[in-house]
Amino acid sequence: MKNLQLSKEGKLKHFLSIEGLSIELLTEILDTAESFAGLPNQQVKKVPLLRGKTIVNLFFENSTRTRTTFELAATRLSADVLSMNIATSATSKGESLLDTIRNLEAMHVDMFVVRHAISGAGHFIAQNTAPHISVINAGDGQHAHPTQAMLDMFTIRQHKQDFTQLKVAIIGDILHSRVARSQIQAFNILGVKEVRVIAPKTLLPSHVESLGVTVFNDIEKGLVDTDVVIMLRLQKERMSAALLPSEREYFKCFGLTEQRLKLANPDAIVMHPGPINRGVEIESNIADGAQSVILQQVSNGIAVRMAIMSLTMQSHGEQI
C-alpha cells in the first residue's frame, strides 16, 4: 500500500504518522528544523516562506498549547492562520466533517492542522481532501502525535550525537498515549539501540513487545543505564477509570525522583511532553533540574513544526 503521506516523488505531502517514513525523511525534517532553530536570535524572527498561504487550525479537541505552537510556527513562516474550534462552530449547524472540509477547500486554504479525539481523523481528511492541500496531524485519539515525536527526536539529537548508541525509557501511561506510540516508531526508524517502556500492567497495551520495545514493570530496573528518560503525562481520569489506585500511589511506584534518576546514566536527559503534573509523574526538582530538557522541547516544537509545514508545502512543487 502506497504511503498516503508521500507524493509520487517520495516527498512528504502530509504528516500524519511516523509509521512508514524512512530514516532519510526523518533526518530531512530534523535538518530543516535546525535551519529554523536559530531564527529567534535574528533581529526579525520570521521568514517569508509561506507568505500568502492560509493554514487552518482544525481543532476538534481543545488544546491551547498545541494550537499556540502551530500558530506561532505558521506566523513565523509568514502564513495566514485561521483558527477554528470546530466543537463549537459549523458542526453545530449539523454540517458533516466532509462538507466542512469541502467548504474550506473551496476557500483556497492550503493546509489543515488537525486535532481530533478519534484515531485516524487526519488520515480520513488527507484521503478526502483536494490534492493541493497538506494535512498535519496534531494528535488523533490514542493513535499518533507525530510532530511531538519529531520535536523529541530533535531535542535528543541536540544532546546525543548518535541515535544508534542510545538506550531510552518511556515511563507512564503507554496504553493511552499517542505520544508514546509515535516516539516508539521514530526510535525504531532512527535505529535506537533499545527502547524500554516502564508502566504498570494496567497501563500497557496487550502485545506491547510487538512494537519493538522491552517491557519493565519496575521503574528502578528499567532506568538502569538509560540515556534518555521520557516521562508521560498522567491523565487524572485514569484514576476514576479504576486503572490506578491514586496519584500518590502512582508517584510512589512510577514517579521520577532524584534517587531513581541516579540509576540512569549520569548524562541522561529527562523529557516530558507537558503540561507536567508536578509530584505526580515527576518530582519538581527533576523537572526544573540540570538534566531536564523539557523547556528545550517546547522551543524546538516551533522549529520542528516550521520544518514540517514548509516541507509539506514544498512537496506541491510550483506552489512554493
Binding flag, residue 52, a second copy (CB under 8 A): yes
In this complex, which beta carbon is closest to a second copy, that of residue 22 or of residue 62?
62
Rounded least distance, CB 146 to a second copy, Å: 20
What distance in Å separates the CA atoms of residue 228 and residue 193, rounded to the nearest whole number?
Answer: 12
Rounded least distance, CB 90 to a second copy, Å: 5
Q: How many CB atoms lie within 10 A of CB 107?
A: 9
Restricted to residues 254-283, the positions that interact with a second copy (CB under 8 A) are: 274-278
Q: How many CB atoms lie within 10 A of CB 201?
A: 10
Residue type, 72: L
Task: Mark residues 282-311: x for contact with a second copy by CB under 8 A, - for none.
Answer: -------------xx-xx-xx---------
What distance in Å separates the CA atoms of residue 14 and residue 6, rounded to the nearest whole number?
Answer: 7
Q: How many residues bind a second copy, per CB under 8 A? A: 49
Binding flag, residue 248, a second copy (CB under 8 A): no
User: Contact at 8 Å (CB) between 179 and 273?
Assistant: yes
What distance in Å separates the CA atoms of residue 85 and residue 18, rounded to the nearest whole number?
Answer: 26
Binding flag, residue 65, a second copy (CB under 8 A): yes
Restricted to residues 79-138, the positions that interact with a second copy (CB under 8 A) are: 80, 82, 84, 89-90, 93-96, 99, 102-108
Q: Which of 45, 159, 160, 316 binds a second copy (CB under 8 A)?
A: 45
HEC string for 58-125: EECCCCHHHHHHHHHHHHHCCCEEEEEEHHHCHHHHCCCHHHHHHHHHHCCCCEEEEEECCCCHHHHH
Q: Which positions lie near a second copy, rule CB under 8 A?
A: 40, 42-46, 51-54, 62, 64-65, 68-69, 71-72, 75-76, 80, 82, 84, 89-90, 93-96, 99, 102-108, 236, 274-278, 295-296, 298-299, 301-302, 319
